Structure 1
Amino acid sequence: MNTLPPIHYTDNYLLSPTNPILVNLIGAGGTGSHMLTALAKINCSLIELGHPGLQVYLYDDDDVVTEANKGRQLFAVTEIGLHKSVALVNRVNRFFGTNWKAVTKPFQRKMMRNLPMRGRANIYISCVDTVSARFDIAETLSNLDANNTFDNIKPLYWMDMGNARKSGQVILSTIYRVKQPDSQKYRVVSYLPFITEEFAEQLLAEADYNEPSCSLAEALLKQDLFINPALADLGGSLLWSLFREGMTAYRGFFLNLASFKSEPIAVG
């Protein structure tokens, strides 16, 4: 019996790429708006360390900023009526000097079939509201070809972020097996399963209910004020460890703000 502690080593391309790492952030709502800021911090720090950094594409459909988005999500009064993805990316670009892109279309299988080279990335981060959207993303990523493709568009990781009112989870997955070095100190883990594979039964038991709120007060009845930034910061920390440490013993966590508890999920 192998009693060595499990570990997942980061794919080599993330550590020493020739170009900025391509990241598709899917969803510009509560968690997505905060995750974009976390990615901007990671990008700035990586560049200071001599890394090419990140190139982020923020996908969201034609959803626009409303009065209900002002407090819980990172939007201002002056941005009401704008596309969420456009407002967020413009703000980050002005503040950090990046050239990230907003895509005012949903991330779907059809888009990937019609544009086989565009829409590809090394890291996919989903901050979506519905179970059906997660399964759609999972199917899309499962059909991506990791062979005979350039490193800068090779699909490597999927991080899914989801939450209820005062709880949530972040799950990191490998899209395909990541080659691991030999180790006498650790039991290396090359494959991290999709959330739709490991927790399919729990996901299918949930109902898709995503009616828009008319006010911030109504929105706060559905989701706590700090659940989204808490998930984004902890998820950003997990992603940062992949770059900074080159390995991780954890592939996510369950978070409960009501009891102020976080339960890590080991890689194997």
Structure 2
Amino acid sequence: MKTEKEKIHFTDKYLLNPTNPISVNLIGGGGTGSKVLTALMEINESLIALGHAGLQVRLWDDDIITTANLGRQRFFECETGLYKSVALINRINRCIGTNWKAETQKFEKDNLGRIPEEARAIITITCVDNVQARFEVAEILKIVSYRRSYHNHPKYWLDFGNSQHTGQVILSTIGKIEQPKSEKYETIGNLPFVTDEFGELLKQSEQEDNTPSCSLAEALQHQDLFINSSLTQMGCSLLWNLFRRGMTEYKGFFHNLKDYRTHPIKVA
């Protein structure tokens, strides 16, 4: 009887042995994004210790820190009134001596439909709080992927999304990633965009009330205290394994913190 091969996605080879730090666009610096940035710092330091070139991160967020952001997000009272992106990136740069960048604007086309040059990165990570923003990011990534160049050619999109107690992390490829020949595995070079594969589910799950919270207590009515941290650790572990193992049999997961269940999504 013929045994079905396990499906595996092998990491793009440039990520494993790059000549320069891997460019990363992190979109959103709130409850999840602020914690993902810390995880990226840990990944960067670990990669460098292993002889890798590390990461070069650019954080996009046009929000200003308010008292409602304190506690659940990684901000302090002395930072209120500052841009989230600037406060977070300055803290990381002072901590580990990096030259990561902050953008105090949204990741979007301008009024003339032009895409910022900085929109091109090898890895894009989204931690946005609405579905429309995901579809806009997807549109931009599809456009920049057609403008081929060796430097900073987009490869992966990692999307984080959550409601009060549940969330998901989905890994997508931006175009097809060349796969090695394998007798042991069935290699999968294309992982569909979250907006293509789960677009209808995202639209159905979007909360109707997206108004900003005025206090931490009010914010906790929308998102539980540890849902962002829980998603961050598991989602960034998926990213870390792309670098460390050079392959993954999973492209994400659905997570329910209320009853402590996680459902992995296999590469298919």
Give the TM-score range, shorter chain.
over 0.9
Provide the secondary structure at the position in 1 that maps to 2:264: strand
Q: Tell me the equivalent position of 1:54.
A: 55
Amino acid at match of 1:55: Q
Report the CA distance shift for 1:112/1:223 in structure 2 as closer, same or farther (over 3 A).
farther
1:43/1:54 contact within 8 Å kept: yes
Query: Cα distance, 1:114 vs. partner?
Result: 3.7
Amino acid at match of 2:96: F
- Over the aligned positions, Cα root-mean-square deviation in angstroms equals 1.6
**Which runs of at least 4 in structure 1 moved beyond 4 Å after TM superposition?**
none
Q: Tell me the equivalent position of 2:32.
A: 31
Query: Cα distance, 1:145 vs. partner?
Result: 3.3
Query: Cα distance, 1:147 vs. partner?
Result: 5.9
Q: Normalised by the size of structure 1, how large is the TM-score?
A: 0.95
- Name the stretch that deviates more: 137-146 or 112-121: 112-121
Amino acid at match of 2:141: L
Report the CA distance shift for 1:24/1:225 in structure 2 as closer, same or farther (over 3 A).
same
Q: Tell me the equivalent position of 1:19.
A: 20
Mapped to 2, the partners of 1:219 and 1:82 lie a distance apart of: 19
Report the CA distance shift for 1:93/1:75 in structure 2 as closer, same or farther (over 3 A).
same
Query: Cα distance, 1:86 vs. partner?
Result: 0.5
Query: Cα distance, 1:90 vs. partner?
Result: 0.6
1:130/1:209 contact within 8 Å kept: no
Mapped to 1, the partners of 2:110 and 2:3 lie a distance apart of: 43
1:166/1:258 contact within 8 Å kept: yes
- Name the stretch that deviates more: 46-55 or 115-124: 115-124
Structure 2, unaligned runs of 5 or more: none
2:235/2:252 contact within 8 Å kept: yes
Q: Tell me the equivalent position of 2:122.
A: 122
Amino acid at match of 1:226: F
Mapped to 1, the partners of 2:58 and 2:113 lie a distance apart of: 18
Q: How does 1:4-153 map to 2 (within 5 A)?
A: 4-61=5-62, 63-110=63-110, 114=114, 117-146=117-146, 148-150=148-150, 152-153=151-152
Mapped to 2, the partners of 1:53 and 1:111 lie a distance apart of: 34
Structure 1, unaligned runs of 5 or more: none
Amino acid at match of 1:134: R
Provide the secondary structure at the position in 1 that maps to 2:169: strand
- Name the stretch that deviates more: 111-120 or 32-41: 111-120
Q: Tell me the equivalent position of 2:231.
A: 231
Amino acid at match of 1:120: R
Asked if 1:204 is matched to 2:193, the reply is no
Provide the secondary structure at the position in 2 that maps to 1:172: strand
1:227/1:257 contact within 8 Å kept: yes
Mapped to 1, the partners of 2:222 and 2:203 lie a distance apart of: 20
Q: How does 1:173-188 map to 2 (within 5 A)?
A: 173-188=172-187
Q: Tell me the equivalent position of 1:163.
A: 162
Amino acid at match of 1:177: K
1:24/1:56 contact within 8 Å kept: yes
Aligned residue pairs, count = 266
What are the Cα deviations for residues 128-165 of structure 1, in whole angstroms up to 9, with x where unaligned?
A: 01110011011111112356402x31000000100000
What are the Cα deviations for residues 22-69 of structure 1, in whole angstroms up to 9, with x where unaligned?
A: 0000001100000000000000000000000000000012x1111111
Q: Normalised by the size of structure 2, how large is the TM-score?
A: 0.95
